[in-house]
């Protein structure tokens, strides 16, 4: 029997190539499987770390909720900045930690309050029928940035009232649905209370040149249209708010804050009895804007665990029975 040596060598070469191709294919598959396995392990680890950071934040929220209740039960209803609640909270943990701080939401101007308030006639054509609260907001805008024109202030404040009220009647320099529907990307006026102060960016008359300055001094309390300022927790950085609400100039408001007792005023009447404040002869409605207690707190939390970070903002509200509940949570907010 004769063998074709050339054919045998050719077959051996083909077999070798096939084996090499199989080895290469198996190597590629093994590499891909290894990479995917590492990715899945890393993904599972990240999910675990993120979940742990989230639960750290939830723990801080529960601690803050109980701390607020304890504060109210042991402060005789007087809340001030010399109490421990206002201090930053830092708690190290294995593999991470918690940073948290409470803020008084009644040390800023509640935008939602512009929907409420009795109308008054001031005797000025430009301000006839404008509420005391709207006049205070106009003073606030002027105090914050003296370069804002009167036209811009009137347009923005009127449009803001129209945004918040439930009707479709347009204020003298305001805006309702017809204005917003005519824009390149149309939308409607909310005609309801704001949920977050970022909504101010949608209101007619807003200008990015001064909006950031306004956002630093205002807040939005969800579902609440009351204007109550705690005169014990407003600080010198927010003197413009106190000046706008009282009618003082900014330097006078700074003096009232700097001369405030360390443990705050015991009653609203103690604040109103301050010489520079009593000399203003404020109407009763304006006097009702001030208080020495707080019903709304804001908690900012940032937690870390291994390589994961988590940020959260929580708004607390206190009812008449001093029960503390959560109004709103925001995730990923610094």
Give mean pLDDT, residues 89-99.
92
Confidence of residue 274 (pLDDT cuts 50, 70, 90): very high
Given this model, what pLDDT does residue 120 score? 40
Confidence of residue 12 (pLDDT cuts 50, 70, 90): low
Given this model, what pLDDT does residue 7 score? 56
Confidence of residue 22 (pLDDT cuts 50, 70, 90): confident
Confidence of residue 125 (pLDDT cuts 50, 70, 90): very low
* pLDDT of residue 139 exceeding 60: yes
Q: Return the exposure string of 196-221: e unless at least 16 CB atoms fall within 10 Å of the residue's CB, then b.
A: ebebbeebbbbeeebeeebbebbbbb
* pLDDT of residue 123 exceeding 80: no
- In the block, which residue shows the tokens 């801080």? 60
Given this model, what pLDDT does residue 294 score? 94
Strands 290-291 and 218-219: unpaired
* pLDDT of residue 300 exceeding 90: yes
Span 218-252, pLDDT tens digits = 999 999 999 999 999 999 999 999 999 999 999 99
Is 190:180 a contact under the CB 8 Å cutoff? no
* pLDDT of residue 116 exceeding 90: no
36 against 204, higher pLDDT:
204
What is the per-residue DSSP string for 234-288? --GGGHHHHHHHH---HHHHHHHHHTS-TT--SSHHHHHTSHHHHTT---HHHHT
Choose the weakest-confidence range: 83-97, 125-139, 226-240.
125-139
Q: Tokens for 324?
A: 């503390």
Given this model, what pLDDT does residue 83 score? 93
Strands 109-110 and 218-219: parallel
Measured between alpha carbons, how far is 202 from 150 in angstroms, rounded to an integer?
Answer: 20
Span 40-73, pLDDT tens digits = 777 777 788 899 999 999 999 999 999 999 999 9
Q: How far apart are the first and last CA of the chain?
A: 87
Confidence of residue 257 (pLDDT cuts 50, 70, 90): very high
Given this model, what pLDDT does residue 185 score? 93
Given this model, what pLDDT does residue 32 score? 77
Percent of the chain with pLDDT over 70: 91
Provide the sign of the torsion angle of the four alpha carbons 197, 140, 112, 280, taken in this order.
positive
What is the pTM for the complete model shown? 0.82
Span 152-168, pLDDT tens digits = 999 999 999 999 999 88
**Which one, of 317, 311, 328, lies nearest residue 293 by Cα?**
317
**Which one, of 203, 204, 197, 193, lies nearest residue 226 by Cα?**
193
Residue-range domains of the chain with CATH: 53-105+296-331 (3.30.1300.30), 112-217 (1.10.40.60)
Q: Tokens for 183?
A: 């824009």
Element (DSSP H or E) covering residue 63: helix 5-73
Give the SS3 label for residue 69: helix
Q: What is the mean pLDDT of the chain?
A: 88
Given this model, what pLDDT does residue 334 score? 56
Q: Tokens for 309?
A: 């970070």
Q: Tokens for 90?
A: 């830092």
Give mean pLDDT, residues 273-282.
92
Given this model, what pLDDT does residue 9 score? 56
Span 141-150, pLDDT tens digits = 999 998 899 9
What is the per-residue DSSP string for 119-185? B---S-TTTTT-BHHHHHHHHHHHHH-TTS-HHHHHHHHHHHHHHHSSS-PPPTT---HHHHHTSSS
Given this model, what pLDDT does residue 61 score? 96
Confidence of residue 35 (pLDDT cuts 50, 70, 90): confident
């Amino acid at each position: 029997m004769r063998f074709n040596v050339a054919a045998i060598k050719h077959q051996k070469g083909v077999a070798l190539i096939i084996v090499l191709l199989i080895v290469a294919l198996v190597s590629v598959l093994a590499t891909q499987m290894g990479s995917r396995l590492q990715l899945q392990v890393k993904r599972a680890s990240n999910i675990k770390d993120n979940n742990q950071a989230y639960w750290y934040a939830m723990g801080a929220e529960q601690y803050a909720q109980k701390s607020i209740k304890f504060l109210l039960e042991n402060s005789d209803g007087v809340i001030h900045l010399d109490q421990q609640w206002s201090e930053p909270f830092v708690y190290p943990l294995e593999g991470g930690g918690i940073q948290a701080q409470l803020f008084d939401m009644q040390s800023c101007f509640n935008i939602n309050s512009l929907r409420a308030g009795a109308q008054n006639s001031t005797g000025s054509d430009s301000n006839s029928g404008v509420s005391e609260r709207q006049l205070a907001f106009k003073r606030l805008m002027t105090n914050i940035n003296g370069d804002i024109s009167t036209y811009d202030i009137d347009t923005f404040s009127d449009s803001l009232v129209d945004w918040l009220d439930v009707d479709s009647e347009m204020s003298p320099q305001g805006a309702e649905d017809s204005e917003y529907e005519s824009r390149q990307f149309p939308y409607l006026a909310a005609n309801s209370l704001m949920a977050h102060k970022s909504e101010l960016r949608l209101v007619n008359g807003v200008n990015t040149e001064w909006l950031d300055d306004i956002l630093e001094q205002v807040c939005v309390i969800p579902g609440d249209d009351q204007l109550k300022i705690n005169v014990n927790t407003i600080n010198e950085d927010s003197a413009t708010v106190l000046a706008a609400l009282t009618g003082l100039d900014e330097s006078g408001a700074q003096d009232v804050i700097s001369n405030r007792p360390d443990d705050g005023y015991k009653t609203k009447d103690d604040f109103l009895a301050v010489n520079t404040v009593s000399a203003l002869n404020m109407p009763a409605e304006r006097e009702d804007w001030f208080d020495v207690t707080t019903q709304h707190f804001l908690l900012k939390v940032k937690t870390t665990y291994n390589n994961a970070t988590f940020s959260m903002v929580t708004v607390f509200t206190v009812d008449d029975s001093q029960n503390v509940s959560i109004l709103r949570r925001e995730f990923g907010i610094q």
